[in-house]
Amino acid sequence: MASKEEVLEKLKTGVVEYLEEEVKEAAQQGLDEGYDALELIMDGLAAGMEIVGDLYDRHEYFVPEVLMCADALYGGLDILRPHVPEKEGGLNAQVVIGSIQGDVHDIGKNLVKMMFDVAGWEVHDLGRDVPLENFVEEQLKTDSEVVAMSAMMTTTMLGMKKVIKMIKDKNPDVAIMLGGAPVTQDVANLFGADGYAESAGNAVSEGIKMIGRLREMQNK
């Protein structure tokens, strides 16, 4: 019999030390013991990812480590998420996410997606190299509150501006997040976006910080 604190610690440490199998075991153990799945996600897996974010900010971890931590987190999330009652599953919000046309990079996008997955959002992942109009169509079809776009190169970034205009013309209430190496706050402002992550690396820590804020909201 493991206490809830012990299970949470195993989940947290497993994510930080990218021990996927141990995270899966701990997740199953937590369920077997009858602990609340959402609590295990937020105070175990997400809490571990917050530590990962600190390690990344301090240049102790780099992208390979973060990717392995993300794998470990998903190992646990896949087991726990089905056990979270739908209305408690987070903010019950939806996001459309993708890398813009011309861009086949999706590491940053996938890490931000993870953040929304953890928070229990319904994620409509369009993948990468996404034609501009597909973002608009998917947002209208799903009535998602947020559209998140990523571009890794200056050469593809300009497409974001068009998408923002197309979406805002049809639905001004949609919040649009931009991310990726060439995107700056100035660019985000200029393009009319509502939020941004400074770089691919920064998207990781920004995303992880957002998990932290979501945990705070959940705990209130």
Partner 1 sequence: MSELTPKERVMRLLRKEPIDTMPFFSGMGMVVMPGIEKAGIKFASVHTDPERMAWSAIWSARLMGFDCVVVPYDMTMESEAMGNTISLYEDSEDILYPTIPEKIWSTMEEVTIPDNIQELGRLAMMPKVIEIIKKEAPELAIGCWQLGPFTQAGQILELDMILKGVFKQKDKVNALLNNLTDMIIKIGRMLQASGCDYITLREPGVAADLLSPRTFKEFIQPRLTRIMEAWQSPKLLHICGSTDPLIEMMNQCGADGLTVDIKCNIAEARQKLGNDVLLMGNIDTYAMTCDPETPVETTVAHIKEIIDNGVDAVMPGCDLWPAIIEANMKAVADTTHEYGKKPSPAVGRL
Interface with partner 1 by CB under 8 A: which residues?
Answer: 59, 62-65, 67-68, 71, 101-105, 107, 110, 129, 132, 153-159, 162, 181-182, 184, 186-187, 190, 199-201
* CB crowding 173-198: b at 16 or more within 10 Å, else e: ebebbbbbbebeeebbeebebeebbb
| Residue 85 exposed, middle or buried by CB count within 10 Å (0-12, 13-18, 19+) | exposed
Shortest distance, CB of residue 91 to partner 1, whole angstroms?
Answer: 27
86 vs 186 by CB, closer to partner 1: 186
- The amino acid at residue 142 is T
Shortest distance, CB of residue 113 to partner 1, whole angstroms?
Answer: 13
Shortest distance, CB of residue 16 to partner 1, whole angstroms?
Answer: 14
Shortest distance, CB of residue 215 to partner 1, whole angstroms?
Answer: 26
- The amino acid at residue 159 is G
Spatial contact of 144 and 136, defined as CB atoms under 8 Å apart: no
Shortest distance, CB of residue 205 to partner 1, whole angstroms?
Answer: 11
156 vs 218 by CB, closer to partner 1: 156
Between CA 28 and CA 47 the distance in angstroms is 18
Q: How many CA atoms lie within 13 A of 204 on its CB side?
A: 25
36 vs 57 by CB, closer to partner 1: 57
157 vs 167 by CB, closer to partner 1: 157
26 vs 160 by CB, closer to partner 1: 160
Spatial contact of 197 and 203, defined as CB atoms under 8 Å apart: yes
Shortest distance, CB of residue 50 to partner 1, whole angstroms?
Answer: 20
43 vs 125 by CB, closer to partner 1: 125
Spatial contact of 147 and 95, defined as CB atoms under 8 Å apart: yes
As given in the structure block, the two tokens for residue 21 are 């199998």
* Local structure of 130: helix, strand or coil: strand
